[in-house]
Amino acid sequence: MTTAVAPSAPLTAEDRCDRCGAQAYLRVELNSGGELLFCAHHAREHGTALKEIAHRVHDETHKLTGTPATAPDDER
């Protein structure tokens, strides 16, 4: 028997860290069936412990390294 697993939905600005409430960039699907959301800071802080209980990790911390878009200078 084969079971299809749906990919994790992308994280949005509405997803919040379960530890501090900041924007979540990491979703940890637990072996027990639940999930936890973490900001990059708390994902790093608890990374070792999370690896021991994680079934799957959806990591979007790469979004933090991009250069934000800026508005063009007004040349008046």
- Determine the pLDDT at residue 66: 67
- Determine the pLDDT at residue 69: 67
Model's pTM, two decimal places? 0.74
Residue at token pair 């697993």: 5
Better-predicted residue by pLDDT, 52 or 1: 52
Q: What is the mean pLDDT of the chain?
A: 86
* Secondary structure (3-state) at 75: coil
Residue at token pair 């637990």: 30
